Structure 1
Amino acid sequence: MSALNGMGTQASERGLRVKVAILGAGRIAQHMADTLTRMAQDKRYQGLVEPWAVASRSEERAEAFAKEHGIPKAYGSYQGLLDDPDVDLVYIATPHSLHAEQAHACLQAGQNILVEKSFTANAAQAGPVLDEARELGLLCTEAIWTRYMPSRKIVDNIIESGAIGQVKAASANLCYPTTHKPRMTDPALAGGALLDVGVYPLNFLDMVFGPKPLDRVESTALMHPTGVDEHNATTLLYRDGTMGLAASSMTMASDRSGAIWGTEGYLVCRNINNIEGIDVYDADHQLVAHRSVPAQLTGYEYEVAAAARAILDGASECPQMPHADTLRMMELMDRIRGIWGMSFPFERPSR
């Protein structure tokens, strides 16, 4: 266990940096490595985080990855990373079906974790991971980057200002043709559109409405020949009469828009997966305001910085994505899959 673990704000005052390791060497891991490299060279973050290690099941792949991104250590096994006493934070960047097992392993090794979305394959896996992190006093947070971005606060401010009146409904969609990626269509890897891209529209709605009680959930999906969802549409009806509409797909492209509808107007977010700008309209559909978002390194820096600061503060969760929100989203996706009758092989009772 490194000098930072267990030292909380004392470590921050001493100027110690959080050493970040990446578990996995796929596409998303490449983006994170690029982010860490840029953060280490940026005056806003260079005193906060330090790229430290990468682990893959292939030593050759790990070494090539480390060399490409200037990462000091490369491990040809996940166990090698778990045995490194200097690691402060592990970014878990493997398929959904592996997240729970690897999260437990990191926590038991005394390592804080930033787990790529979806957090796990289901709520039954998520709960014990979150419980273990709290019991051990280690940080565990979900890497759903939109929760950490400045755009979230901009949207909140517009709503709180009353510019669109009382919010009554919201919609969001995110669709990418990604069936060429084997993990997307593999039920054993918790594939399908919902857990990979559908999590973003649902999180968009949750950031608008929060933990309000649901009256009912209605959903439908078209299934891939392998048994996972190709595309889906879900309606959330809350007990207070508000409504959320979400859609996602792995076989088509969409405008990726998010809209929040109020009694006095509405706002439109361009690209809910990484908001590029926000337009505010009145009830006569006249554009009354445009809000730009700050320039970013890659967009991943916000979740990394939040996790690093939480570690230095001795926290077990990040306020941007507290454990309760992660568990609520996992339970919602379980409920949606239950409506479809869709389950993963590892969820079914063995005969």
Structure 2
Amino acid sequence: MFDKRKVGIMGTGEIAGTMARTIQGMRGVVCHAVASRTIEKAENFAKEFKIKNYYGSYEELCKDPKVELIYVATPHSAHFENVKLALENGKNVLCEKSFTLNEAQAKELFAIAEKNNVFLTEAMWTRFLPLAAKLKEVVAGNIIGDISMVMADLSYNIAWKQRIQDPSLGGGALLDLGVYGLNFASLVLGDDVTDIQTQAVLNDKGIDLQDTVCLKYRSGQMAVVTCSATAFGPCKGIIYGANGHIEVQDINNFADICVYNNAGEKIAYYKQEKQITGYEYEVTAAFKAIGEGWKESPEMTHIQTLKILDIMDFVRKQTGVKFPQEESENAEPEQAENAEE
């Protein structure tokens, strides 16, 4: 009997709970431990998800010798310090999106991971879905001819959430929602972007509640990415080709792929595979990479993470959105804890 691979979860919020439920349903993997900034939160989380070990500090989790992979599920604003802590303790890391607040932070983390010879990948889970691979296969098959444009939307009415409203948490629609549309465009068209035009609506704290991002590629192709935290949108990706189009429902967890010809007739259909939550694919991919000695997952490479962050940095520069951590090193950790994790 082979021992189960051991995951440690850093954070005890909603996304951490989704990952804990996911691991409960997986074979060959176990959630060995969970950590929060308070022992009470960690203990309650551990009891809910039947996790044997829990810690009241992230340092203790990072020093647990049995943990093989740490899943970082804290707010965007805490990712840099949390991932850095894990890496410097020699831990492999799978970090939630948005990977960091900006490209500069990500570059520093990738350098630390290389120095410590450990695995590090962004948990942009849509990249790992089987339907993502199927979509790339369908596009490569040229079934709709040459592609001219991609449109992608992810919009939910969640502006009331603290993680959206608060600049100190890396708030805004772009890093929370728009990142999915940008990854969808990247999945289909690649990353050779030559021009970006944007518009945004900001709240009274200077954080974006709605964004429109228009990307132009060296190939002459274009992508239009929209996101809103004040309305419910179609949450759909559409790929326009010379001989038809492709629609992907739910770009934050591909529900299905429909292929249409120029007459509007459905000529191919691919349905979402059976899944626990969809998070299981990134965990499996991480352990496969670790087993192979790779330091990143091919489904979401360091270069791809940096490309998306570079675009989001540029978008925020155009729209005037800044995070306090980018202007001062004096972040407020208690706010991040309240929003945990």
- TM-score of the pair, normalised by structure 2: 0.94
3-state SS in 2 of match to 1:199: helix
Counterpart Cα distance in 1 of 2:111 and 2:242: 41
Shift of 1:135: 2.1
- For the aligned residues, what is the CA RMSD? 1.4
Shift of 1:232: 0.6
Is residue 33 of structure 1 aligned with residue 13 of structure 2?
Answer: no
Contact 1:137 1:314 in 2 (8 A): no
Which residue of 2 is the match for residue 304 of structure 1?
283
Which residue of 2 is the match for residue 201 of structure 1?
181
Shift of 1:18: 2.2
Which residue of 2 is the match for residue 122 of structure 1?
102
Runs of 4 or more consecutive aligned structure 1 residues displaced over 4 Å after TM superposition? none
3-state SS in 2 of match to 1:281: strand
Alignment of 1:190-229 (within 5 A): 190-212=170-192, 214-229=193-208
Residue identity (%): 41
Which residue of 1 is the match for residue 259 of structure 2?
280
Which residue of 2 is the match for residue 7 of structure 1?
none
Counterpart Cα distance in 1 of 2:190 and 2:177: 20
Which residue of 2 is the match for residue 42 of structure 1?
none
3-state SS in 2 of match to 1:317: coil
3-state SS in 1 of match to 2:210: strand
Structure 2 spans left out of the alignment, 5+ residues:
331-341
Say which of 38, 41, 44 aligns to 1:58.
38
Give aligned pairs, total. Answer: 330
- TM-score of the pair, normalised by structure 1: 0.92
Structure 1 spans left out of the alignment, 5+ residues:
1-13, 40-45
1:301-320 CA-partner distances (Å, limit 9, x unpaired): 00011111111222110000
1:31 maps to amino acid? T
1:118-151 CA-partner distances (Å, limit 9, x unpaired): 0000001000101111222111000111000001
Shift of 1:233: 0.4
Alignment of 1:1-351 (within 5 A): 15-39=2-26, 46-47=27-28, 49-212=29-192, 214-348=193-327
Shift of 1:16: 4.4
2:158 maps to amino acid? T
Counterpart Cα distance in 1 of 2:78 and 2:216: 32
Counterpart Cα distance in 1 of 2:173 and 2:313: 14
Counterpart Cα distance in 1 of 2:293 and 2:251: 31
Counterpart Cα distance in 1 of 2:104 and 2:2: 38
Contact 1:137 1:315 in 2 (8 A): no
1:261-307 CA-partner distances (Å, limit 9, x unpaired): 11111100111111111111111212112111211111000001111
Counterpart Cα distance in 1 of 2:268 and 2:115: 46
Counterpart Cα distance in 2 of 1:233 and 1:126: 24
Counterpart Cα distance in 2 of 1:16 and 1:337: 46
3-state SS in 2 of match to 1:252: coil
